[in-house]
Structure 1
Amino acid sequence: MQLKIHPNLFCICRLGAEENMPAWATCGTYFSITRTMEELSIVCEQDAVPPEVVAERNWHLISIAQKLDFSLTGILASIANPLAAAGISIFVVSTFNTDYFLVKSRNFDSACNVLLESRFTFIE
């Protein structure tokens, strides 16, 4: 399976559930927004996020480079399991078309090596 590494660093932000959507949240080519009763979570390019925002910073974004059928099973497990065995955690976001996962910068090179050993390939 082919994976795509997205440029730039990303962060995972936490705002209050009642807060309005900040303008910076929708900057860049990729962002994901989820509102629950407890919080407003935003995944977006790190450069757009003001320093005072509560956030986990320094994540690399990787996506599965194809549309996935809803009937497929085990796709995320095939990524998460070898990474977990190597002690590398991920943060996952799924869309209608495909899955995205984020890896902390400090683990990025190791994660790429684990995925290559697991027979994944990377494309531009």
Structure 2
Amino acid sequence: MNVELRLLSRAYSVCRLPAGSALPAPPRTAELYGLTVTAEEVSVVCAMGEEPRGARIESGWSALRVAGELDFSLVGILSSLTAPLAEAGVSVFALSTFDTDYLLVRSAELTPALEALRARGHLISKG
């Protein structure tokens, strides 16, 4: 299954706050902002420079968005993207929304990530 991906323009951070932390307010506009709350932690994906105070921060991620909206009946989308990245030794942080999926890869590994995805027939554009 070939997928069209859009490379987002900003660099991102993946952040961890302790469980029970006050939830950070999302920015008014964002290309990508993710907030996940579990019993164990509060995770935030945000643009670099917008990290919540007191968070453990892993900076330097690039984000790829699966273009278009994905129907819930589709299977294998993430697998078709993560398998070539795993084979190339590229670590992935995946994030899903109601409409689509996002893959974050370390910016230092972006070139081999894009090469691995293109080699499997995936299309990548900016935006």
Query: TM over 0.5: same fold?
Result: yes
Match of 2:11 in 1: 9
> In the aligned structure 1, how far is the partner of 2:78 from the partner of 2:52?
31
Partner of 1:38: 40
| 1:41-120 correspondence to structure 2 within 5 Å | 41-49=43-51, 53-120=55-122
Equivalent position amino acid for 1:11 in 2: S
Instruction: Give the TM-score, by structure 2 length.
Output: 0.90
Going from structure 1 to structure 2, the CA distance change for 1:50 and 1:33 (only over 3 Å counts) comes to closer
Displacement of 1:50 = 5.6
Aligned partners of 2:100, 2:34: CA distance in 1, in Å? 13
**Displacement of 1:81 after TM fit?**
0.5
Return the alpha-carbon distance in structure 2 between the equivalents of residues 107 and 93 of structure 1. 18
Deviation above 2 Å: which 4+ runs of structure 1?
50-53
Per-residue deviation, 1:95: 0.7
Give deviations 1:6-65, integer Å, cap 9, x for gaps: 111101100011111123xx1233111011111110011112126753111100010100
Q: Quick one: structure 1 residues 19 and 88, their matched pair in 2 at CA, closer, same or farther if it must change by over 3 Å? A: same
Q: What does the per-residue CA deviation read over 1:45-93, in whole Å, with 9 as the maximum and x for residues that have no partner?
A: 1121267531111000101001111111111110000110111110001
In 1, Cα distance between equivalents of 2:111 and 2:53 = 26
- 1-structure distance, mates of 2:59, 2:115: 22
Higher strand content, 1 or 2: 2
Instruction: State the 1:123 CA deviation.
Output: 2.4
Q: Which segment is superposed worse, 63-72 or 47-56? A: 47-56
In structure 1, stretches of 5+ residues that fail to align are none
Q: Is the 8 A contact 2:24 2:52 kept in 1?
A: no
Structure with the higher fraction of residues in helix conformation: 1
